[in-house]
Structures are given as structure tokens and as C-alpha cells.
Amino acid sequence: MELKFLGGTMEVGRSAVSVKSNNNQILMDYGALLAREPGFPMHVPPKEVDAIFLTHSHLDHCGSIPVFYINGSMPLYGTSVTFDVSRLLIEDFLGLSGYYLPFEYLELEEMMNHSKNLSYKESVKIGDFGITLYDAGHMPGSAQILVEDQGKRLLYTGDVNTNETRLTKGADLSYGEVDTLIIEGTYANEDHPPRKEIEDDLVKKVKEVVEEGGTVLIPAFAVSRSQEVLMVLVANDFDYPIALDGMALDVDDIYLRNSEFIKDPRALARAISESKQVKGWKDRRKAVKRPGVIISPAGMLKGGASVFYMEKLAGNSANAIYPVGYQVRGTPGRTLLEQRKYISHGKVSKVEAKVERFDFSSHCGKSGLEKIIKNSAPKKIFIMHGDEENLQTMSKWIKDEMGIDAITPKTGESFKI
């Protein structure tokens, strides 16, 4: 097999890997870098691609796939829920950044027309390759990809989480030993606090605010994080109104339709039925006037209904703003955490509300990555999807502590395996 890294190597964004045999080529992910002007992976002539495999619906993994359907007609494999959510996120991407994208709605439609659903552990043959998806535990429907060719085994983790959450079971590591591992390194050198601890802390602090008459805004990504936080609150007998806003409502429907990818579909259905769906401005104005919780995109406070909520809630010390995801440098969410200021449309306002971030990560930390490496016992490891410094440190501990050859490839580099 020959591996070529097309993007997402020393960064988070535009993940794409090509795998070639003597006669065939497949791609694993083909994402987009989300910057002011989006970035794309290296070009591959569509004629040379036999099939594309998608690990999950985050745009840094799927955001550039439609480009292959301008002329191409190769099949695209993934789970049903991954395709439903990808459509939603790429539509949104076209709406926000369409001017910069090398494809349009038509190509997204063509991409969806060529999608083929796979279940976990169901194998498909593409020429020389045998390919199987395994649960990655990163979000409902997320997959790791096992590629087999002439007795050689390659595993690509995509984004992976070995820890259980309310929505997901944690990565399935039952694929056994592999020859080569391509692993993510987003949080390669730290461990997140145990989920239960974070959940209890969030519930306690939200209750404190609401019982004193305040309103809590939880800026959360619409896919998976919003549903998880909602489930945490409902499972902990939170008796105040929980409003759910934005694209999270569409994702609720997708998850309920694809319940085989949800750890506990009944608990999710119950949580959704107990939430209040925000359908328009009347509901939004109502939500900010009463004690309760509002779960709304954008997860980093960049646009979405969160702008309105911030304007209404941030000035009052009785309220709270509790982001639940990573806040990228330069986003309003990061500025809020570091400077207790909120900047929107160039306007700076001081924030009186309580501010704290809760670390609901969907990536595993160092010990989870170690577990994957021990379990798969590879001879060679390629690390991607993380800051350069982080990935270098990871490659060092893999070599020093585990004695395995580890490489941090650059975009464009090829390797025979």
C-alpha cells in the first residue's frame, strides 16, 4: 500500500488521506479548513479515485468532498447518520462561505446521490481493498476505517474518543492488531477530567444560577454537543425550562431517525421531548426573560442566535455564560473566557454575567490514545489532526515510552507501508 497525506497533517482542518494499492486508490476523508477563506486538501484527479470513505460529518473531514462530484461518480461510503448531518453542515457551509467554495448545491446533491450507507463492522470490497468501519465514539455515526490489502492492515482513527458519553459508547477497539496506524493528536498531551465530574459540576453551577432567578446561556455546537448537554440536564432532574435553538433541532430529528447509532435512544427522546424548541424571535425573547437554560449555537459565540442571547444576558451578573466546547483563538468565545469581554460586529461590551468553560470534549486525551496504540500494536504510527507542537510531543512519547516508530507527516508526503 502507498499512503499519501493530502491535508490536515500539522493542523486541525482539511483532513484527507489517500491509500493506493497496485490497481486502486481510495480516499479517507476530504475536509475543509475553516478560516476566513476556507482551505482545501491537495487535488486528486477524480478519475483516479475508486471510492471515498468518510469518518464523520465535521466539516474538517467532509467539507470538500462535493468537489469530486463536479464530474466524478465514485461511491462515497459512511454511516447513514454521517450523511444526514454532513448534508446539513455542508449546506450551512455553502450559505456562509459559498463564494470561496469550488462547488455548489448541485455537487452536494450529487455527493448525496452517490452515498452508500455502511453499518459498523460491515465490510466492503473496493478492488484490492477490504474496508470496514468501526465505531469511533467521537459523535453518533462516527467511524474509524480499517483497510486490508494482501494481509496488511491499516487503521485510520479519524477523530476518536475512547470514553463513553451520554450519546456515544466510546470507540470500538475490537479490530485487533494492525500494521500501520494513522491516529489523531488533538489532545495528545493532556487528559480531560472524567465526564461524570464535568457533568456534576455543570449541573451544580447551572442550578445555582437558575435558583437565584438567572438565565444560563450554553453556547454549544449544534451537532452532538447540544444534545449531550440537554441529556445531562434532563438526567439530573433539572426542573426549569431548557430552550434549544438553531440547527440542533434538525440534528435532534436526524438522531431520532437513526437511533441505532445512539447509545440510549429512549433517554435522548425523553430529553428532546422535555426541551422547548425555539422556533423564532418570539420564543427567543421569552427565553431570556425567565430563569432557565438556553442551549444555542454558535458554540464559540460566532454568529447564530447566540449573538442575540449575549446582548440580552451578558450585562447582568445574575446570569451565566457557560461554553461547553473548545474555544479557538480569535473567536468571541475565547475572548470572553480570557478577557470577560464580548465582541460582536466590532462592538465591545463588558460581561457582568458569570463565565466558565466546561470541558465536554469529544476527543480522547493522552491515556485514550495510549490505549488505542497498545490495543492495535502497530509497527508504524502516523500522527495528524493537531497543532504541530502537540503532534511532535506525541511522536516523542510514542517513541520513548512505547518504543514504536512514530511520524508526523507533512502535507504532500507519501509512504510505502
The site for Zn ion (CB under 5 A) is made up of 58, 60, 159
| Residue with Cβ nearer Zn ion (21 or 161) | 161
CB of 58 to Zn ion, least distance (A): 4
The nearer residue to Zn ion, 20 or 58, going by C-beta atoms, is: 58
Least distance (Å) between residue 127 CB and Zn ion: 28
Q: Least distance (Å) from Zn ion to the CB of residue 141? A: 11
Question: In 10 A of CB 201, how many CB atoms?
Answer: 14
Identify the sign of the CA torsion 216, 220, 225, 226.
positive
Give the residues across from 292 on adjacent strands: 215
In one letter, which amino acid is 31?
G
CB of 2 to Zn ion, least distance (A): 24
Give the length of the chain. 417
| Minimal distance, residue 237 CB to Zn ion, in Å | 31
- At 37, list the grid cell: 477563506
Closer by beta carbon to Zn ion, 59 or else 230: 59
Spatial neighbors of 77 by CB under 8 A, at least 6 apart, are 51, 52, 53, 54, 115, 116, 118, 124, 131, 133
* Closer residue to Zn ion (CB): 82 or 395: 82
Closest to Zn ion by CB, 80 vs 157, is 157
Q: Tell me how far, at minimum, the Cβ of 12 lies from Zn ion, in Å.
A: 6
Our CB check for Zn ion shows the closer of 171 and 310 to be 171
**Smallest distance from Zn ion to CB 255, Å:** 16
User: What span, in angstroms and rounded, lies between the C-alpha atoms of 198 and 234?
Assistant: 15
Grid coordinates belonging to 92: 450551512
Closest distance of CB 59 from Zn ion, Å: 9
Buried-exposed string 107-136: b where 16+ CB fall within 10 A, e elsewhere: bbebbbebbeebebeeeeebebbebbbbbb
Rounded to the nearest 10 degrees, how much is the dihedral formed by the CA atoms of 187, 191, 192, 195? 120
Q: Which is nearer to Zn ion, 34 or 178 (CB)?
A: 34
Of 157 and 335, the one with the shorter C-beta distance to Zn ion is 157
Q: Quick one: 159 or 359, whose CB is closer to Zn ion?
A: 159
C-alpha cell at 245: 435553538
CB of 369 to Zn ion, least distance (A): 14
